[in-house]
Amino acid sequence: MAYEAPDHLLYTNDHEWLKRDDDSPDEVTIGITEFAQEQLGDVVYLELPPEGTALTVGEPFGEIESAKTVAELFAPVGGELIGVNAELEERPELVNESPYDEGWIVRVRLADASDLDQLLDADAYQALIPEE
């Protein structure tokens, strides 16, 4: 069975996903992929910057702690952090249980929409990850 990677999302080499908002195309939601959460194991804590923080593409902006390890979150696009999933404070396991929906991590207002051109589509991302 392959890991799920929905067609309507964009992906990074660092196993993050990005979804463009239907109504406000300069706003995006970011999370980690099914494969990433499986590799991390049980997520127990996320260290995220406050809203308003400026993100630089490719730079680390937060950390995600699992029971066994810690991983950095890298900004897939540049822009301003406009939302953090507050639900994860109490229920970090949502990142494991629902990585593409309830387990979203941050929302960002794009500084430069051309950043999106560097991202992978679902097929290209699937080619990156091993079969389970």
Partner 1 sequence: MSDHNNPGGLILLTLRDRHLALGARFAPFAGWEMPLQYTGIVAEHHAVRDGVGVFDVSHLARAWIEGPQAAEQLRSVTTFDVTALAEGQAHYSLYCNEAGGIEDDVFIYHLPGDRWLVIHNASNAESDFERLRSVAGEAASEVTADTVMLAIQGPKAIRLLGDVLGEAIPALNPRDCLEVTWRGESVLFARTGYTGEDGGECIVSAEQAHALWDALVAAGATPVGLGARDTLRLEAALPLHGNDIDPSTHPYEAGLGFAVSLDDGAPFTGREALAELKDQPRPRRLAHLAAQGRGVIRAGYEVRERSAAEAVGHLTSGGHSPSLRRGIGMAYLPAALAKIGTELEVDVRGRALPVEVVRRPFYRKPRD
Out of 19, 20, 44, 109, the only residue in the binding site for partner 1 (CB under 8 A) is: 44
Q: Rounded to an integer, what distance in angstroms lies between the CA atom of residue 37 and that of residue 5?
A: 12
The continuous run of DSSP H or E covering 128 comes out as helix 122-128
Out of 14, 80, 93, 102, the only residue in the binding site for partner 1 (CB under 8 A) is: 93
Q: Indicate the SS3 state at residue 5.
A: coil
Q: Does 49 bind partner 1 (CB under 8 A)?
A: no
Nearest CB to partner 1, comparing residues 45 and 121: 45
Binding mask 53-92 for partner 1 (x = CB under 8 A): ----------x-x-xx-x------------------x---
Which of 1, 29, 8, 46 is closest to 125 using CA atoms?
8
Out of 49, 54, 96, 116, the only residue in the binding site for partner 1 (CB under 8 A) is: 96
Q: Cβ(7)–Cβ(122) under 8 Å?
A: yes
Beta-carbon count within 10 A of 30 CB: 25
Q: Rounded to an integer, what distance in angstroms lies between the CA atom of residue 27 and that of residue 38?
A: 27
Nearest CB to partner 1, comparing residues 4 and 112: 4
Least spacing, CB of residue 35 vs partner 1, in Å: 9
User: Which residues of the shown chain bind partner 1 in the complex (CB under 8 A)?
Assistant: 38-39, 41-42, 44-45, 47, 63, 65, 67-68, 70, 89, 93, 96, 130, 132
